[in-house]
Structure 1
Amino acid sequence: MRKGDLAAIIDLNEKDDQIQPLTAARPIGTLPFAGRYRLIDFPLSSLDHANVRSVAIFLPKSGRSVTDHIRSGSTWNMDQITGGIFTYPYMAGRDYEDPQLRARYYDDYLQFLRKSSAQYTIIMGTQNVANVDVDAIVAYHQAGESPVTAVYKNLPETAMQPEDLTLDMTELGTASSVVPASENRGHLKEGKIPAFMDIYLIGTIDLIDLLIDASEAPTFKRLPQIMREAVLQNNANAFEYTGFLAKLNTIQRYYDANMSMLEDQNYQALLYSANSIETKNKNEIPTYFSTESKVTNSLLGTGDFIEGDVNHSILFRNVHIHRDALVDHSIVMQGSKVGTGSSVKYAILDKGVIIGPNLALEGTPEEPLVFAKNQKVFQPDGKGVTARA
């Protein structure tokens, strides 16, 4: 699109109770992914490729990891003289019976939208990892008859959980409502269900009107509820996305989505399709491999030091795998260390985790072990950690 035609809203206050402890100190949006990315990189990259230069990011309780990663937004060409990235403080858990706080909630949205002067606004989340063509969504919206467009991907019913949001589709291919999968009564296509991707497109003037109406209503409604009601009231255009998609709202889904990046077809489809995914650059030394090391079918970040064996795993930056150690079917985040003689299988190690020597840590593909940020493990604990003979 032409610069200035489209503004964007990214709300980082997403439900994360099933992905703890990985989100104890960060929102879902800054979870590391595929060895070097953060989840927020995906919507920001899609917006960059669509020439979007005004983005409002609504911060969670702890916004430090967000601001540290985004900085000026230059990675995604958002460091503009006009427009740019605008961050708004945490408001999701406030007492909205207080009229001043309630007015502030809507005011933040309204001020951003009015100053953007954009014709359209796209609303996005971060827990759906995808490489979305925003220009294609806009073109579809312009050709449609509804003032609202919602984005979905058809997934097998077996891939859905009862609480996952879906689009209830009509025979005409429009969306009549946004409902949990357990309540979807629409017309399914070849046994697949339209998984909603937390993406709406709407005319900016229409969105302003919806927010003003909500601010004057007797019952408080957050933006997600406002938009779901807009789908219901307008029989929204339904744009079908057909690329790679992973929803990362549980530990199991986070683990599985990362492991799927070890399959070249998935890796190329998500990260190197028509639109590339950009992330904050870190100029670091290359990874070191000792003569005794062995690495098989794995993704490794820069600055790693590998003396042991790494198999079917994802290692982020500055990870140290000591001599005679084994990392197998695991995710090891930045700055973590696995001690001499230890084995780590089917596990997720958050940033800065230290595993002592001669330990055996083993989860399962269905229930990987999870170690919280900066956790130190030096002895058996009866929770999948034993001494290695």
Structure 2
Amino acid sequence: MKNAIGIILNVDGEDTTLKDFLLHRSLSTLPFGGRYRLIDFTLSNMVNSGLSHIGVIGSHKYSSLVDHLGTGKEWSLSRKTQDLSILAGSGNNRIGNLIKINLRNLQNNRAFLKSDSSEHVIIATPNLITSYNFNGAYNIHMNNNSDITLIFKKDNSHYHLLEDDIYLDLNNDRVSGIHYKKSKTTSHFFADMLIIKKSVLLTLLDLGERTGAWDLMDMIQANVDSLRIYGAQHRGFIKRVNSLESYMKASMDLLEYKVMQELFLGKASIHTKIKDNHPSRFCDSAQVSNSIVGSGCMIDGIVSHSILFRDTTMHGTSYIRNSIIMQKCEIGKNVSLNYVIMDKDTKIRDNTSLTGKPHAPIVFKKGSVV
């Protein structure tokens, strides 16, 4: 896909249920799945689709993003040759407001858009858990001489879409209408990924400057009759992390074999920052079932249907189930955890019992001692 560049938009929406995890990091670098960050999925999907020039629009919480992406070598990119560019965002916008794709973010980075001769731009958010190859959508885009191709998913009640999510009217694969959920729903919703001609994007940016518009999707909606807009269906697994409940659900989905197989055992790998570490140690009394355990852990207890990140220490006679334990946490003796999420460097003292709920797990922010 040599005639396209990629942009990963910052979604720094500090949903109140995620605030404890976003004090020192942006949503894009929220740890996920025992070793990954959310942005790894979108960035890997773009690289696996053949994009070699990708811009990542960051937020005011730059340090975690810069530290994680580093030189870009884990994704076969290089910041030195500008294969990977970390770009400045325009401000902090909450998830759930009416701005889907912030025109100011794109306007402030026109230099990146014009930095090579590519004629098309692939835009996606960093909080999508999916393994997706953009080439199918790109072929639809090219074959129809489309100005814009919106990637969509068939709706299902388990997606729990928000009032500012977008639904599409389709007529023989052409998009004939765009609606926010609060006004109208259809059987197809926009999956926060699109392909757009660069010339069309620049024209819409100019129009937005003149009219004071903030949202690219509003601009597309207002010009749906004059633009050639097509849809490309996403047929695989996809989950969007935009709340504590969706983070918990997407994490637990990884423990289903079909989901694990699609995301991690296919031809396309999800890349992440590599950390050399020693193997995990499982004591004789340890029992681990249907769980993900990162490297460098010491497990002496029972772990069931849970995700443990690197360097977690779990002492004897403790029981962890339905929980997410992030990096370098320590679980004392005779501890029982059920539906608990612990950010990194959290310590749970001996003889502690904590039980949350599937839709409302107990949360501990970084460095907590309980």
Which stretch of structure 1 is more off in the superposition, 316-325 or 10-19?
10-19
Task: Note if 1:321 corresponds to 2:314.
Answer: yes
Alpha-carbon deviation of 1:84? Answer: 1.4
Change (3 A) 1:338 1:146: same
Aligned equivalent of 1:196: 190
> Are 1:148 and 1:230, in contact at CA under 8 Å, matched by a contact in 2?
no
The Cα offsets for residues 354-374 of structure 1, whole Å up to 9 and x where unpaired, read as 111110011122321111111
Letter in structure 2 aligned against 1:183: S
Aligned equivalent of 1:45: 44
Task: Note if 1:163 corresponds to 2:157.
Answer: no
Q: In the aligned structure 2, how far is the partner of 1:122 from the partner of 1:180?
A: 22
Letter in structure 1 aligned against 2:126: T
Which stretch of structure 1 is more off in the superposition, 106-115 or 197-206?
106-115
Aligned equivalent of 1:285: 278
Aligned equivalent of 1:248: 241
Alpha-carbon deviation of 1:182? Answer: 3.8
Alpha-carbon deviation of 1:353? Answer: 1.1
Q: In the aligned structure 2, how far is the partner of 1:161 from the partner of 1:30?
A: 22
Aligned equivalent of 1:380: none
Aligned equivalent of 1:206: 200
Aligned equivalent of 1:304: 297
What secondary structure is seen at the aligned counterpart in 1 of 2:266?
coil
Alpha-carbon deviation of 1:168? Answer: 2.1
Extract unaligned runs of 5+ from structure 2: 94-101
Aligned equivalent of 1:347: 340
Change (3 A) 1:106 1:28: closer
Extract unaligned runs of 5+ from structure 1: 95-101, 187-192, 378-389
Change (3 A) 1:176 1:353: farther
What secondary structure is seen at the aligned counterpart in 2 of 1:221?
coil
Task: Note if 1:76 corresponds to 2:78.
Answer: no
Task: Note if 1:64 corresponds to 2:63.
Answer: yes
> Are 2:170 and 2:231, in contact at CA under 8 Å, matched by a contact in 1?
no
Alpha-carbon deviation of 1:225? Answer: 4.2
Q: In the aligned structure 2, how far is the partner of 1:106 from the partner of 1:127?
A: 18
Letter in structure 2 aligned against 1:253: S
> Are 2:103 and 2:213, in contact at CA under 8 Å, matched by a contact in 1?
no
What secondary structure is seen at the aligned counterpart in 2 of 1:169?
strand
Aligned length: 361
Aligned equivalent of 1:25: 24
Q: In the aligned structure 1, how far is the partner of 2:191 from the partner of 2:342?
A: 28
What secondary structure is seen at the aligned counterpart in 2 of 1:308?
strand
Task: Note if 1:122 corresponds to 2:122.
Answer: yes
Alpha-carbon deviation of 1:259? Answer: 0.7
Q: In the aligned structure 2, how far is the partner of 1:247 from the partner of 1:70?
A: 21
Q: In the aligned structure 2, how far is the partner of 1:121 from the partner of 1:41?
A: 19
Q: In the aligned structure 2, how far is the partner of 1:103 from the partner of 1:145?
A: 24
The Cα offsets for residues 65-90 of structure 1, whole Å up to 9 and x where unpaired, read as 11111011111111176441111234
What secondary structure is seen at the aligned counterpart in 1 of 2:84?
strand
Alpha-carbon deviation of 1:351? Answer: 1.2
Q: In the aligned structure 2, how far is the partner of 1:123 from the partner of 1:360?
A: 44
Q: In the aligned structure 2, how far is the partner of 1:214 from the partner of 1:182?
A: 23
Q: In the aligned structure 2, how far is the partner of 1:334 from the partner of 1:228?
A: 43
Which stretch of structure 1 is more off in the superposition, 154-163 or 28-37?
154-163
Task: Note if 1:172 corresponds to 2:172.
Answer: yes
Letter in structure 2 aligned against 1:328: R
TM-score normalised by length of structure 1: 0.86
> Are 1:53 and 1:80, in contact at CA under 8 Å, matched by a contact in 2?
no
Q: In the aligned structure 2, how far is the partner of 1:130 from the partner of 1:178?
A: 24
What secondary structure is seen at the aligned counterpart in 2 of 1:326?
strand
What secondary structure is seen at the aligned counterpart in 1 of 2:269?
coil
Which stretch of structure 1 is more off in the superposition, 114-123 or 13-22?
13-22
What secondary structure is seen at the aligned counterpart in 1 of 2:50?
coil
Alpha-carbon deviation of 1:195? Answer: 2.8
TM-score normalised by length of structure 2: 0.91
Alpha-carbon deviation of 1:43? Answer: 1.1
Letter in structure 1 aligned against 2:286: S
Change (3 A) 1:103 1:358: closer
What secondary structure is seen at the aligned counterpart in 1 of 2:206?
helix
Q: In the aligned structure 2, how far is the partner of 1:165 from the partner of 1:310?
A: 37
Q: In the aligned structure 2, how far is the partner of 1:161 from the partner of 1:350?
A: 26
Q: In the aligned structure 2, how far is the partner of 1:316 from the partner of 1:91?
A: 33
> Are 1:145 and 1:237, in contact at CA under 8 Å, matched by a contact in 2?
no
What secondary structure is seen at the aligned counterpart in 2 of 1:115?
coil
Letter in structure 2 aligned against 1:149: T
Aligned equivalent of 2:13: 15
Change (3 A) 1:311 1:148: same
Alpha-carbon deviation of 1:108? Answer: 3.1
> Are 1:168 and 1:184, in contact at CA under 8 Å, matched by a contact in 2?
no
Letter in structure 2 aligned against 1:271: F
Letter in structure 1 aligned against 2:198: T
Aligned equivalent of 1:259: 252
Letter in structure 2 aligned against 1:168: L
Aligned equivalent of 2:54: 55
Q: In the aligned structure 2, how far is the partner of 1:227 from the partner of 1:116?
A: 24
Task: Note if 1:334 corresponds to 2:332.
Answer: no
